[in-house]
Amino acid sequence: MAKAGIESIRSTQVVKIHTRPVDQCVTATRMTGAALCHVVWTADSLGVIHEWAYDQEKGELNHARVIPGHATSVTDLQPVEDGLWSGQYEARCHKPYRML
């Protein structure tokens, strides 16, 4: 079942910013003022994590930033209220992530 607000996101865009295969992808939805904000994080086999903001008006993802990652593949991503947890052999909390 889709999260509230995410059901409107369709496969309409291919993002090619990663140079290695994407191993993880997670989303979070938060209220920012009166609007819903959707953020997507992708992590690849080189440990690079990218943050994306979903533009509801245009229906596309916009690259927001690169988050310092791990030396090799990220095996888990978990968004939480105060950051984004990523895991490889060790866990890291990336603070703060911004809700665009």
d(CA 100, CA 88): 27
Q: Between vectors from CA 85 to CA 28 and to CA 69, what angle results, nearest 5°?
A: 110
pLDDT greater than 80 at residue 11 = no
Q: What is the predicted pLDDT for the residue at 17? A: 81
Average pLDDT in the 78-88 region? 81
Helix (H, G, I), strand (E, B) or coil at 43: strand
Answer for the pair 84, 77: CB distance below 8 angstroms, yes or no: yes
Q: What is the predicted pLDDT for the residue at 12? A: 61
d(CA 74, CA 62): 22
The two structure tokens encoding residue 20: 């290695």
The per-residue pLDDT for range 34-48, each reduced to its tens digit, is 778 888 899 988 888
d(CA 66, CA 27): 16
One DSSP character per residue, 48-70 reads -EEEEEEETTTTEEEEEEEEP--
The two structure tokens encoding residue 15: 């993002």
Q: What is the predicted pLDDT for the residue at 1? A: 45
